């Protein structure tokens, strides 16, 4: 029975209540979760609008924690924060979600072609793959033995089944193609290993300067308008992950609408198939009940871990964790808990750590042996762009990658607006052997040189602002010219250009090497008596500027053209 209603928080007396249980409230059976027990009273965060609830309304417990349904039908779906399929809800209730509506997350009427890979009489345990379903043309869905089940396969079928029909009997227990998993409980790996494979994103400033590995976690903080959501979209479109989980947590409705309209039209760059065939979208906009924000990131993580356990490389985009933290702060205030810094609960750091620590790579449970990874990229929206605020600082404590967005770069229309002086990646040493092997032996050396040039440019800019460019030496003026080429011809990337929106690692390495080779030749020319003005008149500068917008075939003669032009200028051949 309800005793008190305070926004999304409801206090009630429930027989047999347990912390974490899912409950249903009132005549409409609104969904809520018990988050605290004080004597006979249970504190419930309600995932729907509580208007109309009153003292004395009935409350019943389901006896189960908040869980997700896992099985064929996830890919291509669009869910809300508690895994209700929005397209099915729209068919039943129109453009607005009816309170208390109950729709199965996975389609119950669709049949899937199940192909077993084991035989009757085999011995299996949790995590073993029983068979496969070709869910989309891009992804083969592996049906695994659920947690807590082990024994001899007494029966296994082959054919078309719904997710509710029995496909196998193991140890006397029937197994279907769907299983449930509590969203706040991590799915275990058999063994973890260090991150050593890069997650290629096609974004030059990330892949070349601040790389991310498969199984790592990254923080993407920045003020309003700095381009967090755009970068998240680019990573979802172009990263070489097998599965993409995109969680819009408390974002503005128009931004989420862009995602929902744009993603179904996108093509997977590797196969040419629709990108939605390997994507799951979770939409929880800012006007939806605030408690569902807190659940949405866990829902995304549980689905992501499920696909990781199949042996896939999964990338989870959470946009943005600040809205999630705000939901924690509101619920904490209503629970009358002692506030921490800036009103956030004292357990903010541990909750963030618990979420980001779900990232990782390793050997999956069960047979056949397979390896999978889960990469988490969370954007943070600090008020006023203040990177010292609690959500950013607590996130940085548990992530090893920091892509700091710069509002001034965004205002200059420089995208991605990642500040190369603030950002860092602590995975460079882990990834360097692999990058040197698959890209070029000098790739990381060139990366260090480019970052050093940009750092020196930042120091010289102070002098230029005070006494002007003419006060610099010719060598320093040439360095500023090289830094400008790195910024404008390498780091700047257009999301709308069909060629420039994605740049593979070999092209990135070639383009950076070309710019640095030009700088080396320019220094030789300067030593031979040529002025910076003469060097700036060279035609190949414009060719380098256009190289990022051109194909490999169009650029194949560029480096030789640069050498020939300098040969004509200084009369000697270039030698490295």
d(C-alpha 164, C-alpha 109), whole Å: 9
Its pTM surpasses 0.85 = yes
Question: Which helix or strand (DSSP H or E) is residue 308 part of?
Answer: helix 291-308
Domain with 145 in it: what CATH number? 2.40.50.100
Taking CA atoms, 486 is separated from 209, 454, 457, 551, 558, in Å, by 12, 8, 11, 19, 16
Percentage of the chain surpassing pLDDT 70? 99
Whether residue 228 is annotated as binding a ligand: the answer is yes
**Mean local confidence (pLDDT), 264-291:** 84
Strands 123-124 and 151-156: antiparallel
Whether residue 226 is annotated as binding a ligand: the answer is yes
Rg (CA), the chain: 27
Domain boundary pick from 50, 65, 80: 65
d(C-alpha 311, C-alpha 264), whole Å: 25
What value does the mean pLDDT of the chain take? 92
Is residue 174 one of the residues assigned to a domain?
A: yes
If asked whether residues 152 and 301 sit together in one domain, one would say: no
Flag whether pLDDT at 242 surpasses 50: yes
Is residue 71 one of the residues assigned to a domain?
A: no
CB atoms within 10 A of CB 518: 27
Tell me the CB-side half-sphere exposure of residue 459, using CA atoms within 13 A.
Answer: 7
Whether residue 530 is annotated as binding a ligand: the answer is no
- Domain span including residue 486: 443-570
If asked whether residues 17 and 135 sit together in one domain, one would say: no
Burial, 388: exposed, middle or buried (Cβ in 10 Å; 0-12, 13-18, 19+)? exposed
Cis peptide preceding 381, ω within 30 of 0: no
If asked whether residues 457 and 420 sit together in one domain, one would say: no
If asked whether residues 380 and 489 sit together in one domain, one would say: no
Of residues 202, 242, 235, the one with CA closest to residue 220? 235
**What DSSP designation does 510 have?**
H
Q: What pLDDT digit, counting tens, does each position of 500-521 carry?
A: 999 999 999 999 999 999 999 9
5 or 99, which is more confident: 5
Domain with 305 in it: what CATH number? 3.40.50.300
Asked if residue 75 lies in contact with residue 136, where contact means CB atoms within 8 angstroms, the answer is: yes
**What DSSP designation does 189 have?**
P
Whether residue 253 is annotated as binding a ligand: the answer is no
What is the pLDDT at residue 284? 86
If asked whether residues 464 and 407 sit together in one domain, one would say: no
Flag whether pLDDT at 205 surpasses 60: yes
Residue for token digits 């196969």?
271
Of the ranges 157-161, 249-253, 459-463, the best mean pLDDT one: 157-161
Is residue 294 one of the residues assigned to a domain?
A: yes
If asked whether residues 21 and 55 sit together in one domain, one would say: yes
Torsion of CA 199, 200, 205, 211, to 10 degrees: 30
What is the pLDDT at residue 261? 79
Q: What pLDDT digit, counting tens, does each position of 297-328 carry?
A: 999 999 999 999 999 999 999 988 998 999 99
What is the pLDDT at residue 319? 87
What is the pLDDT at residue 546? 94
Torsion of CA 94, 97, 102, 104, to 10 degrees: 70
Is residue 325 one of the residues assigned to a domain?
A: yes
Strand extents, DSSP E, 172-287: 173-175, 179-182, 191-192, 217-221, 243-251, 279-285
Is residue 184 one of the residues assigned to a domain?
A: no
d(C-alpha 183, C-alpha 181), whole Å: 6
**Mean local confidence (pLDDT), 281-296:** 85
Q: What 3-state DSSP class applies to 196?
A: coil
Taking each helix axis from N to C end, the angle separating 558-570 and 505-527, rounded to the nearest 10 degrees, works out to 0
If asked whether residues 461 and 413 sit together in one domain, one would say: no
Domain with 23 in it: what CATH number? 2.40.30.20
Number of domains in the chain: 4
3-state secondary structure 315-379: EEEEECHHHHHHHHHHHHHHCCCCECHHHCECCHHHHHHHHHCCCEEEECCCCCCCEEEEEEEEE
Asked if residue 318 lies in contact with residue 377, where contact means CB atoms within 8 angstroms, the answer is: yes
The β-bridge partners of 24 are: 31, 60
If asked whether residues 424 and 496 sit together in one domain, one would say: no
392 or 467, which is more confident: 392
Strands 129-134 and 112-116: antiparallel
Is residue 486 one of the residues assigned to a domain?
A: yes
Q: What pLDDT digit, counting tens, does each position of 139-196 carry?
A: 999 999 999 999 999 999 999 999 999 999 999 999 999 999 999 999 999 999 999 9
What is the pLDDT at residue 374? 98
Domain with 457 in it: what CATH number? 1.10.1140.10
If asked whether residues 415 and 448 sit together in one domain, one would say: no
Strands 78-79 and 151-156: unpaired
What is the pLDDT at residue 444? 93
The DSSP annotation for 434-467 comes to: HHHHHT-TTHHHHHHHHHHHHHHHHHHHHHHHHH
Percentage of the chain surpassing pLDDT 90? 73
Of residues 255, 396, 249, the one with CA closest to residue 325? 249
What is the pLDDT at residue 386? 87
Tokens standing for residue 476: 């320093």
Strands 243-251 and 279-285: parallel
**Mean local confidence (pLDDT), 101-116:** 94
d(C-alpha 192, C-alpha 359), whole Å: 11
Of residues 170, 142, 144, 133, the one with CA closest to residue 155? 170
Flag whether pLDDT at 574 surpasses 90: no
Flag whether pLDDT at 572 surpasses 80: no
d(C-alpha 137, C-alpha 571), whole Å: 58
Whether residue 383 is annotated as binding a ligand: the answer is no
The β-bridge partners of 38 are: 41
Of residues 233, 239, 302, 234, the one with CA closest to residue 79? 302
Asked if residue 239 lies in contact with residue 199, where contact means CB atoms within 8 angstroms, the answer is: yes
Is residue 545 one of the residues assigned to a domain?
A: yes
Angle of CA points 374, 211, 556, to nearest 5°:
120
Q: How confident is the model at residue 469 (pLDDT cuts 50, 70, 90)?
A: confident
**Mean local confidence (pLDDT), 374-379:** 96
Asked if residue 143 lies in contact with residue 164, where contact means CB atoms within 8 angstroms, the answer is: no
If asked whether residues 287 and 417 sit together in one domain, one would say: yes
Q: How confident is the model at residue 575 (pLDDT cuts 50, 70, 90)?
A: very low
If asked whether residues 253 and 349 sit together in one domain, one would say: yes
Domain boundary pick from 132, 147, 179: 179
Of residues 130, 167, 163, 131, the one with CA closest to residue 145? 130
Whether residue 224 is annotated as binding a ligand: the answer is yes
End-to-end CA distance of the chain: 80
If asked whether residues 491 and 538 sit together in one domain, one would say: yes
Residue for token digits 């003005």?
533
Domain boundary pick from 404, 428, 452: 428
Burial, 574: exposed, middle or buried (Cβ in 10 Å; 0-12, 13-18, 19+)? middle
Tell me the CB-side half-sphere exposure of residue 398, using CA atoms within 13 A.
Answer: 21
Tell me the CB-side half-sphere exposure of residue 529, using CA atoms within 13 A.
Answer: 3
Flag whether pLDDT at 98 surpasses 90: no
Is residue 540 one of the residues assigned to a domain?
A: yes
Q: How confident is the model at residue 495 (pLDDT cuts 50, 70, 90)?
A: confident
Flag whether pLDDT at 466 surpasses 90: no
């Amino acid at each position: 029975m309800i005793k008190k209603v305070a926004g999304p928080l409801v206090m009630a007396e429930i027989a047999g209540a347990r912390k974490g249980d899912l409950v249903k409230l009132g005549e409409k059976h609104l969904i809520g979760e018990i988050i605290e027990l004080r004597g006979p009273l249970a504190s419930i965060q309600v995932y729907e609008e509580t208007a109309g609830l009153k003292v004395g309304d009935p409350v019943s417990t389901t006896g189960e924690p908040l869980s997700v349904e896992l099985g064929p039908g996830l890919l291509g779906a669009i869910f809300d924060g508690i895994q209700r399929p929005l397209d099915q809800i729209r068919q039943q209730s129109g453009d607005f979600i009816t309170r208390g509506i109950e729709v199965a997350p996975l389609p119950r009427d669709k049949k899937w072609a199940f192909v077993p890979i084991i035989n009757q009489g085999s011995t299996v345990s949790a995590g073993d793959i029983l068979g496969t379903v070709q869910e989309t043309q891009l992804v083969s869905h592996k049906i695994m033995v659920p947690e807590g089940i082990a024994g001899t396969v007494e029966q296994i079928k082959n054919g078309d089944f719904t997710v509710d029909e029995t496909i196998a009997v193991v140890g006397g227990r029937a197994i279907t193609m769907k299983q449930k998993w509590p969203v706040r409980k991590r799915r275990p790996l058999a063994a973890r290993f260090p991150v050593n494979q890069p997650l290629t994103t096609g974004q030059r400033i990330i892949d070349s300067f601040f790389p991310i590995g498969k199984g790592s976690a990254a923080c993407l903080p920045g003020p309003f308008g700095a381009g967090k959501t755009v970068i998240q979209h680019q990573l979802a479109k172009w990263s070489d992950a097998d599965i993409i989980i995109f969680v819009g947590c408390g974002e503005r409705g128009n931004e989420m609408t862009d995602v929902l309209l744009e993603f179904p039209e996108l093509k997977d760059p590797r196969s040419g198939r629709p990108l939605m065939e390997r994507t799951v979208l979770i939409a929880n906009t800012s006007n939806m009940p605030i408690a569902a924000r807190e659940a949405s990131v866990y829902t995304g993580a549980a689905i992501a871990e499920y696909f990781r356990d199949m042996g896939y490389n999964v990338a989870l985009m959470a946009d943005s964790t600040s809205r999630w933290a705000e939901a924690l702060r509101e619920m904490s205030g209503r629970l009358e808990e002692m506030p921490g810094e800036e009103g956030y609960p004292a357990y903010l750091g541990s909750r963030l750590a618990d979420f980001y620590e779900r990232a990782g790579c390793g050997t999956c449970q069960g047979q056949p042996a397979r390896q999978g990874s889960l990469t988490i990229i969370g954007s943070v929206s600090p008020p006023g762009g203040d990177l010292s605020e609690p959500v950013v600082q607590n996130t940085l404590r548990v992530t090893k990658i920091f892509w700091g967005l710069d509002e001034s770069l965004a205002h200059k229309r420089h995208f991605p607006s990642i500040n190369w002086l603030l950002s860092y990646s602590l995975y460079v040493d882990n990834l360097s052997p692999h990058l040197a092997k698959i890209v070029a032996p000098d790739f990381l050396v060139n990366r260090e040189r480019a970052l050093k040039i940009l750092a020196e440019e930042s120091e010289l800019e102070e002098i230029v602002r005070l006494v002007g460019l003419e006060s610099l030496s010719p060598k320093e003026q040439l360095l500023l010219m090289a830094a400008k080429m790195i910024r404008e011809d390498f780091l700047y990337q257009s999301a709308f250009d069909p060629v420039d929106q994605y740049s593979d690692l070999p092209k990135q390495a070639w383009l950076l090497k070309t710019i640095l080779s030009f700088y080396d030749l320019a220094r030789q020319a300067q030593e031979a008596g040529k002025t910076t003005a003469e060097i700036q008149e060279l035609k190949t500068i414009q060719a380098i500027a256009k190289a990022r917008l051109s194909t490999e075939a169009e650029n194949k003669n560029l480096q030789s053209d640069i050498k020939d032009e300098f040969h004509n200028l200084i009369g000697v051949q270039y030698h490295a």
